Amino acid sequence: MIRDNLCAVEENISAACDRSGRARGDVKLIAVSKTKPVEMLKEAYDLGCRDFGENKVQELIDKYDKMPSDVRWHMIGHLQRNKVKYIVDKVYMIHSVDSLRLAEEISKEAVKKNVTVSVLVEVNVAKEESKFGTDAEETVSLVEEIAKLPNIVVKGLMTIAPYVEDSEENRLYFAKLKQIYVDIIHKNIDNICMEELSMGMTGDYEVAIEEGATYIRVGTGIFGERQYTIV
């Protein structure tokens, strides 16, 4: 199943790249494996996946120990400050930095462990009440503040678009994130290298690619529907 799903996603990515005149190599696929057993991750790994996305610290740590060391782990979920210390030397990138306090904690723990952590600033472009993320208007100043901290580097921006039936409805949000990104590039802030736009999930990654995504985060489209057990 994973093989067929990955093939289909790959075809869609290539088609979206063609439509928008982008190179396939400019878009990186993150296999979002939250709630899925390690066996499924290994299957995806054997099919070539190296970027995996998780949204819970404990689950990421558990899987980290069981997967090959060349996996690039992306923390894509809301991160509590008291848990930063567990993942700071394990993650390739943290996509969900939405406050200076969280960035300060990441910086502090990164200094302790002598690593440099790449992060994306999460922006709530659609202004959804239920979502985390900084307001669009505050993004530039947050990026400027984080840029002053040691051992943390802002690599770009991330957004989680609303759940919609028709992915076209999210096009304006992806375009808005791209615009903020371009504005920041033009400011030439020291110690930031805006190069990544993490946007697009199973329902809307093709539109996100057309609007400039460099990372797309696909879970259901690769691993199938998630089942959440109530504990």
Interacting residues toward ligand PLP by CB under 6 A = 32, 34, 55, 76-77, 160, 201-203, 217-221
Nearer to ligand PLP, 121 or 160 (CB): 160
Q: Write down the least CB distance from residue 134 to ligand PLP, Å.
A: 15
Nearer to ligand PLP, 192 or 201 (CB): 201
d(CA 156, CA 154): 6
Q: Write down the least CB distance from residue 150 to ligand PLP, Å.
A: 27
Nearer to ligand PLP, 107 or 159 (CB): 159
Residues 107/88, Cβ–Cβ less than 8 Å: no
Q: Write down the least CB distance from residue 142 to ligand PLP, Å.
A: 19
Nearer to ligand PLP, 133 or 146 (CB): 133
Q: Write down the least CB distance from residue 220 to ligand PLP, Å.
A: 3
The tokens for 162 are 């609303």
Side chain identity, residue 70? D
Tally of helices (H runs) and strands (E runs) in the chain = 9, 8
Q: Write down the least CB distance from residue 221 to ligand PLP, Å.
A: 6
Indicate the DSSP class of residue 167. Answer: G
Q: Write down the least CB distance from residue 222 to ligand PLP, Å.
A: 8
Residues 77/97, Cβ–Cβ less than 8 Å: no
d(CA 86, CA 76): 15
Closest CA to 159 of 190, 188, 128: 128
Nearer to ligand PLP, 53 or 184 (CB): 53
User: Of all residues in the chain, what percent are helix, strand and coil, respectively (each to 5)?
Assistant: 45, 20, 35
Strands annotated E in 72-138: 72-75, 93-97, 117-122
Which residue has its beta carbon closest to ligand PLP?
219
Nearer to ligand PLP, 103 or 201 (CB): 201
Q: What are 216's strand-pairing partners?
A: 29
